[in-house]
Structure 1
């Protein structure tokens, strides 16, 4: 049971960094099979897993976080990082000006990648010219974008190209 509590605390800590969105997704949807197994969640009974997911849902921890991977996910969104070792920090710059985001905003990077906002938060009036960004993977397979010169919290994003 201590492992269950430790996992729940780790999930709570990591998820609190992500902004809230509209829908809840279960751990099975959020994590790859390798992440799910590495966390030992396959050892939980269906009732225990349901209890953990219910706890996450009730406590409002990162609902709507990007869902799990595979060759394609819900809505046929391709998975760009199927292997854990490919989930490295990405450092680039926004191609052009960044005035802010309004929910589901897309960000084209100078390295050619395109990332989309994964929550519904809003930020306006930034007026940044080609700001440097760092995109880092989180424990549960999500991504957070840090924008230099923004002075704002990390933005949950997902890669779309």
Structure 2
């Protein structure tokens, strides 16, 4: 199994197979524009702009599961990401990342990578690095700034 086995909804409600990203290095992130970690969107965008031509993509999945930090509609989320943070990387429909209604992609990512305190996602901006074969290779905690692991992205792009 790999992430290519999953289909997700874009922020505009269209079904998209993750197989469309086959052969790329991906950073999959549960985001929230009203979270204290929201400035990481700037770093995620910087990484995307720097490496997109080398086969790197950030996939943002808004989540309102942690203290109502993403309460708006998908359209409002997209607007906030674009206007406040200049986001141009792909955004997807709001999801849940924990519990019985968790998005299947995030169930898979959690199982594949675990975490310091078990597999549950503890907060917004948990980041999953996925290699070109669609396999999750590393999970980064919400407080880990994206630029701190830029070297790992570069390694996977080689």
TM-score (structure 1 length as normaliser): 0.33
More helix by share: 2
TM-score (structure 2 length as normaliser): 0.33
Larger RCO (alpha carbons 8 Å, 6+ apart): 2
